């Protein structure tokens, strides 16, 4: 593995030692009952991983301009604008609209215009440490920041212990093995519906860090439509795909059965497949462990194809074309 990629893998566990400081905390509802988090790409994952770890947390991820049309669920709904660079236009628009509507609003950012916006208006703000890890890998810091805003002490303790439990060496080996299986295939990632975010994280890791197409879907839904797409004569042979089923002990027992049966049907039609069990004694260990594995696999795949993994030139170019500054790391 290249020194740069190995460095990135080593920094992933280190981010869990991040100690968030909330500036201007007074306008946060004492006990927010729900959260609307505005964030794009890598900067949305604080909200979705917090919901994975604690499914009772009411978090809606808003990946668009403006605010959700239905507005505020209650006066105790906290709006959180999240952007690593602080310059993502959809998120700046979300923050401006939420502020205009006088919704309780906080910001999580590494700097840029979002930081200035929050400081000028004395909004609650957590500054995450911008470093050499790109936004899509900074999901630990983002989740810690959101858990701090919501005062979730147990989640914070579980997250902070990951600095010691995640092992860069083991993950590199696992990533290498899985990348060998996936090389020359288009990955199809399947999870349970409750873990849709995790599957999406695997997909975007393959896209952004691996620079290959990849797709994610959830069971049971895919069993009701997507599987038929592999039963006919199509533009590419079924052997072009590899179905990766991510199994979670927290899944409904029928999901496990569905994964087995779906995998069998796929195999009979020429789609190769593998099962990946996520493990750990806490939700934080299971979901961030799996995200770490996704990153390691994507980096190894990039190396297998000879692709550059860190920079995201297409994302940057698109941001430039749209007239907003894009950094060297897709918004960093």
Structure tokens, 202: 């695997």
Specify the stretch interacting with ligand F6R by CB under 6 A; choose among 39-47, 182-190, 212-220, 298-306: 39-47
Taking the complex as a whole, the smallest distance from the CB of residue 267 to ligand F6R amounts, in Å, to 33
- The verdict on 104 binding ligand F6R (CB under 6 A) reads no
Pick the closer one to ligand F6R by CB: 133 or 243.
133
Which residues, in sequence order, are CB contacts of 34 under 8 Å at separation 6+?
58, 59, 60, 73, 74, 76, 77, 78
- The verdict on 330 binding ligand F6R (CB under 6 A) reads yes
CB–CB of 301/206 below 8 Å? yes
- The verdict on 136 binding ligand F6R (CB under 6 A) reads yes
Query: Residue 137 in 3-state DSSP?
Result: helix
Taking the complex as a whole, the smallest distance from the CB of residue 329 to ligand F6R amounts, in Å, to 5
Specify the stretch interacting with ligand F6R by CB under 6 A; choose among 119-127, 132-140, 242-250, 277-285: 132-140
Taking the complex as a whole, the smallest distance from the CB of residue 204 to ligand F6R amounts, in Å, to 7
CB–CB of 258/220 below 8 Å? yes
- The verdict on 48 binding ligand F6R (CB under 6 A) reads no
How many CB atoms sit inside 10 A of residue 286's CB? 21
> Can you say whether the dihedral through the CA atoms of 314, 315, 320, 323 is positive or negative?
positive
How far apart CA 159 and CA 67 sit, in angstroms, is: 29
Residue tagged 């074309």 (tokens): 321
Rg (CA), the chain: 20
Applying CB under 6 A, among 13, 32, 38, 41 the residue interacting with ligand F6R is 41
Residue 305-324 contact track with ligand F6R, rule CB under 6 A, x = bound: -------x--x---------
- The verdict on 9 binding ligand F6R (CB under 6 A) reads no
CB–CB of 312/329 below 8 Å? yes
Applying CB under 6 A, among 37, 40, 227, 244 the residue interacting with ligand F6R is 40
Applying CB under 6 A, among 47, 124, 135, 175 the residue interacting with ligand F6R is 135
- The verdict on 208 binding ligand F6R (CB under 6 A) reads yes
CB–CB of 150/162 below 8 Å? no
Specify the stretch interacting with ligand F6R by CB under 6 A; choose among 82-90, 92-100, 240-248, 262-270: 82-90
Taking the complex as a whole, the smallest distance from the CB of residue 47 to ligand F6R amounts, in Å, to 13
How far apart CA 62 and CA 82 sit, in angstroms, is: 10
Applying CB under 6 A, among 15, 57, 77, 88 the residue interacting with ligand F6R is 88
How far apart CA 47 and CA 58 sit, in angstroms, is: 9
Name the strand (E) or helix (H) holding 80.
strand 77-83
268 preceded by a cis bond (ω within 30 of 0) = no
Pick the closer one to ligand F6R by CB: 29 or 111.
111
Applying CB under 6 A, among 12, 35, 36, 43 the residue interacting with ligand F6R is 43
- The verdict on 108 binding ligand F6R (CB under 6 A) reads no
* Chain positions contacting ligand F6R, by CB under 6 A: 40-43, 83-85, 88, 91, 134-136, 208, 312, 315, 329-331
């Amino acid at each position: 593995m290249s020194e740069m990629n190995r460095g990135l893998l080593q920094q992933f566990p280190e981010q869990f030692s991040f100690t968030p400081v909330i500036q201007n905390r007074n306008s946060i509802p004492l006990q927010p009952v729900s959260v609307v988090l505005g964030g794009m790409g890598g900067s949305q994952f604080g909200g979705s991983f917090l919901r994975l770890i604690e499914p009772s947390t009411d978090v809606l991820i808003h990946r668009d301009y403006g605010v959700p049309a239905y507005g505020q669920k209650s006066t105790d709904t906290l709006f959180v604008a999240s952007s690593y660079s602080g310059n993502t236009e959809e998120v700046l628009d979300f923050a401006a609209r939420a502020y205009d509507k006088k919704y309780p609003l906080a910001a999580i950012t590494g700097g840029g215009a979002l930081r200035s916006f929050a400081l000028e208006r004395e909004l609650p703000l957590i500054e995450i440490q911008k470093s050499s890890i790109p936004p899509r890998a900074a999901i630990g810091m983002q989740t810690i920041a959101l858990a701090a805003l919501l005062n979730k002490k147990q989640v914070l303790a579980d997250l902070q212990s990951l600095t010691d439990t995640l092992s860069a060496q083991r993950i590199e080996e696992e990533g290498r093995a899985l990348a060998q299986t996936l090389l020359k295939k288009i990955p199809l990632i399947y999870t349970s519906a409750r873990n849709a975010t995790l599957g999406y994280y695997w997909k975007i890791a393959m896209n952004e860090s691996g620079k290959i197409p990849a797709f994610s879907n959830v069971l049971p839904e895919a069993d009701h439509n997507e599987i038929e797409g592999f039963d006919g004569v199509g533009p590419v042979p079924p052997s072009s795909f590899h179905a990766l089923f991510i199994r979670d002990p927290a899944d409904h027992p029928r999901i496990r059965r569905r994964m087995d049966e779906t995998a069998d049907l796929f195999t009979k039609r020429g789609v190769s497949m593998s099962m990946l069990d996520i493990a750990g004694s806490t939700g934080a260990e299971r979901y961030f462990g799996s995200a770490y594995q996704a990153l390691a696999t994507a980096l190894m795949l990039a190396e297998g194809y000879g692709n550059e993994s860190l920079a995201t030139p297409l994302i940057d170019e698109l941001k430039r074309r749209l007239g907003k500054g894009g950094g060297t790391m897709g918004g960093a």
